[in-house]
Amino acid sequence: MSNGESPGLYIHVPFCRTKCPYCDFYSVTSLSLIPDWLDGLRKEAVFYKDHFAAFDSIYLGGGTPTLLTEHELAALMDCLFNNFTFSPDTEITIEANPDDIILDKLGVLRGIGVNRISLGVQSFDDKELQYLRRRHTAPESELALERIRACGFTNVGLDLMYGFEGQTEAGWVQTIKRALDFRPEHLSCYQMTLEEGTPFGKMLAEGRMKLLGEEEEREFFLLTSRLLEKEGYIHYEISNFAMGKEYISRHNSKYWRHVPYLGLGPAAHSFREDVRWWNLGSIESYCKALVDGKLPVAGSETLSEEQHRLESLYLGFRTSAGVDLELVRNQPRFDMILSELQESGLVQVHMGRAIPTREGFLVADSLPLLFADW
């Protein structure tokens, strides 16, 4: 069920210099498979040539796309531009790590058309960065941001993380304030969550590590939202803030609104016309399928009308766009539920939509259940 908007193109770059112990994105630390991965991408792109309308966003994610060399980045973009069409104002985002931001690399990124950088800063406290086993230091992030600005990038996002053991509210506020010194156009403030398969997840399961309690989580979330809104940012998704509407991530917004997207690379996900499919989750199996002339798809699902509706509720309540009331109007207790949500300050109604408030964001995942309880 495409809504006629331009699709987005995601490229998964599954390489990192080292693995962060809390991360469950698919990536490997050996760079020797980069040529095979690039060959695989070229083959996969050919499969989808002419199957999608012109894209208006490209997102190079990972992994660590900025560890690719100039030659590899140019080859990657050639592959995309040779196989697909793009609107002239395409948003081209790259996820970057501060230790990769050298001036030469920034020139290369501009040269290949990147117009948005999402920098994985996480914290401006070196002790916290050591705890997170990040490769970079706070001064390296600061230098990277100065260089990014000096190179003329005007759409810069910072990823920051809260909710890990030993972090204080005061320390978190310091990190946000240091980030604000650079007036980033976008901020993603993620609460640490740990998946079982990660080293930190294992430590958590074994009781060797703690995360924030529920009340602390709530406090960190609320203070982040208040502080950034006071600084003029729009809190447009649970974890995301933009300095103006024009800086809302065009690409990520597609995920939240069922706009079609194509994901290329191992473990990448795609969505179109209510079908979601995902690629094989290792470089080797991904490349082998393509060498054998097959699409590297590991699985797929077709959303029923009801699944689509429920997903729209889940995704909508996580954003400031909220949910179209027509999606829930048939619920027998619709009026009562909506009134209660409004009275408790979790939701506001505006232009036929139920919009979560800041407090509503805190319980966003439970709101759809109220309307699913027939």
When asked if residue 63 is in the footprint of ligand SF4 (CB under 6 A), the reply is: yes
Cβ proximity of 246 and 254 under 8 Å: no
Report the residue from 27, 167, 175, 239 that binds ligand SF4 according to the rule CB under 6 A. 27
Report the residue from 8, 43, 44, 64 that binds ligand SF4 according to the rule CB under 6 A. 64
Token digits for 141?
């992030």
Task: List the alpha helices (DSSP H) in the chain.
Answer: 34-48, 70-83, 103-111, 126-131, 138-150, 169-180, 199-205, 214-230, 250-256, 283-291, 305-316, 334-343, 358-362, 367-372
Binding mask 88-127 for ligand SF4 (x = CB under 6 A): ---------x----------------------x-------
Residue 223 CB, nearest distance to ligand SF4 (Å)? 24
d(CA 347, CA 319): 12
When asked if residue 239 is in the footprint of ligand SF4 (CB under 6 A), the reply is: no
When asked if residue 47 is in the footprint of ligand SF4 (CB under 6 A), the reply is: no
When asked if residue 62 is in the footprint of ligand SF4 (CB under 6 A), the reply is: yes
When asked if residue 19 is in the footprint of ligand SF4 (CB under 6 A), the reply is: yes
Could you give the maximum distance between any two Cα atoms of the chain, in Å?
Answer: 61
d(CA 352, CA 314): 17
Residue 64 CB, nearest distance to ligand SF4 (Å)? 5
Q: Which is nearer to ligand SF4, 7 or 62 (CB)?
A: 62
Residues 6+ apart with CB under 8 A from 16: 27, 28, 29, 62, 63, 64, 67
When asked if residue 163 is in the footprint of ligand SF4 (CB under 6 A), the reply is: no
Residue 61 CB, nearest distance to ligand SF4 (Å)? 8
Place of tokens 């660590």: 64
Q: Is the preceding omega at residue 232 within 30 degrees of 0, hence cis?
A: no
Report the residue from 9, 11, 20, 204 that binds ligand SF4 according to the rule CB under 6 A. 20
Stretch that binds ligand SF4, among 57-65, 81-89, 233-241, 274-282 (CB under 6 A): 57-65
Residues that bind ligand SF4 (CB under 6 A): 16, 19-20, 23, 25, 27, 62-64, 97, 120
